Amino acid sequence: MSILLDENTRVVVAGITGWQARAHTGFMREYGTNVVAGVVPGRAGEDCDGVPVYDSFATALEEHPADAAVLFVPAAAAAESAIEAAGAGVGMILVCAEGVPQHDVALMIAHARRAGVRLVGPNSQGIISPGRAKMGGTGGDLPVTNLLFRRGPVGVLSRSGGMGSETCWLLTREGVGQSTYVSVGGDAMVGAPFSELMPLFEEDPDTECVVLFGEPGSCAEEDAARLMGEGGFTKPVVAFIAGMVNESAPQGVSFGHAAAIIERGEGSPARKKALLREAGAAVVEDMREIPDAVRDALGAGFSRP
């Protein structure tokens, strides 16, 4: 099985006529994603490579019931688009834009929660359930997607889009497949952090282990450790926390994502590692150790192809 997305998920693409959205919509459809409509204000009645385009989510969903939306819109328009999608009844929203103003992020997260909608991102590379469907830019075109990802028993959650794909590739080349990979987003506030997605993997009978790719800053990893410590997640967890160099850098030096802020020890990689280990996670010091740690977690029942 998978979480969030499979071949039956009906997807609407906001901004579909833009060059990036158009390209990735083609990649998504080639992979098997069920894209039913696009939304671009002022472009109603157009056809984008066989996908009908509407002015709004409301009119699109009248003609094409949908389960999810992916937003290929500029950062300044992300909140308005997400709020519109939530109001139209879309169950899950993926926000790809980077640099969305924090007030807008807070606004879209609040609206999504009130509407009972799951919001992934902003600053998310995308979601893929290997062999089934993908949303966003994850994996690029079909040859690359098939190189990086394969179907299997490991859920992968990452704050970094690029390094999340790298994590999946490390697993794939060692014969370890993934159930679903989610790029949760690298901003300080995101709609679906680790602790909100891990329970979905807990309920998925085909996910046997979860890999977390963490980074300095925010409390995402600390919240995941707390969830594990409280018994809210019981499956094996393998974690890698990037950015140990941040702890020895001069104060005020900027690194990586907007959320990579360490303040008085809070959000430091060392603290995250310690809390995850205390909660029972296998924390590796080198990304290349992830596949072996996963095989150990899966136990004797798993054999490398």
User: What's the pLDDT band for 247 if we cut at 50, 70, 90?
Assistant: low
CATH code, domain with 79? 3.40.50.720
CA distance linking residue 290 with residue 41, whole number of Å: 45
Q: Let me know whether 199 and 253 are in one domain.
A: yes
Residues 226-230 have a mean pLDDT of 97
CA distance linking residue 167 with residue 178, whole number of Å: 10
Q: Let me know whether 103 and 155 are in one domain.
A: no
Q: Is the pLDDT of residue 262 over 80?
A: no
CA distance linking residue 112 with residue 110, whole number of Å: 5
Q: Let me know whether 108 and 42 are in one domain.
A: yes
Residue 139 lies in a domain: no
Q: What would the pLDDT profile of 23-37 be if each residue is shown by its tens digit? A: 999 999 999 999 999
Q: Is the pLDDT of residue 305 over 50?
A: no
Domain boundary among the residues 124, 141, 167 is at 124
Residue 103 lies in a domain: yes
Q: Let me know whether 155 and 296 are in one domain.
A: yes
Domain boundary among the residues 106, 124, 142 is at 124
Residues 72-101 have a mean pLDDT of 97
Residue 135 lies in a domain: no
What pLDDT does 257 receive? 57
Domain of 15 in residue numbering reads as: 1-124
Residues 96-125 have a mean pLDDT of 97
What pLDDT does 104 receive? 98
What pLDDT does 300 receive? 60
Q: Let me know whether 61 and 195 are in one domain.
A: no
DSSP labels, 197-261: HHHHHHH-TT--EEEEEE-SSSSHHHHHHHHHHTTS--S-EEEEE--GGGGGSPTT---SSTT--
Q: Let me know whether 9 and 112 are in one domain.
A: yes
Q: Let me know whether 237 and 278 are in one domain.
A: yes
Q: Is the pLDDT of residue 249 over 60?
A: no
Q: Is the pLDDT of residue 217 over 60?
A: yes
Q: Let me know whether 219 and 299 are in one domain.
A: yes
Q: Is the pLDDT of residue 22 over 60?
A: yes
Residue 116 lies in a domain: yes
Residues 210-220 have a mean pLDDT of 93
Q: Is the pLDDT of residue 95 over 90?
A: yes
Q: Let me know whether 295 and 190 are in one domain.
A: yes
Q: Let me know whether 84 and 155 are in one domain.
A: no
Residues 236-264 have a mean pLDDT of 68
Q: Is the pLDDT of residue 302 over 70?
A: no
Residue of higher predicted confidence among 187 and 202: 202
Residue 132 lies in a domain: no
Closest CA to 118 of 135, 93, 99, 149: 93
Residue 87 lies in a domain: yes
Could you give the number of structural domains in the chain? 2
Residue 137 lies in a domain: no
CATH code, domain with 244? 3.40.50.261
Model-level pTM? 0.94
What pLDDT does 258 receive? 52
Contacts of 177 (CB under 8 A, 6+ apart): 130, 149, 150, 151, 152, 153, 154, 171
CA distance linking residue 28 with residue 48, whole number of Å: 14
Q: What would the pLDDT profile of 142-167 be if each residue is shown by its tens digit? A: 999 999 999 999 999 999 999 999 99
Domain boundary among the residues 75, 108, 124 is at 124
Considering the chain, what percentage of its residues have pLDDT values greater than 90? Answer: 86
Q: Is the pLDDT of residue 100 over 50?
A: yes
Provide the mean pLDDT of the chain. Answer: 93
Q: Let me know whether 63 and 200 are in one domain.
A: no
Q: Let me know whether 210 and 275 are in one domain.
A: yes
Residues marked active site are found at 257
DSSP labels, 114-175: HTT-EEE-SS--EEEETTTEEEETTT-SHHHHHHH--EEEEEEEES-HHHHHHHHHHHHHTT
Residue 109 lies in a domain: yes
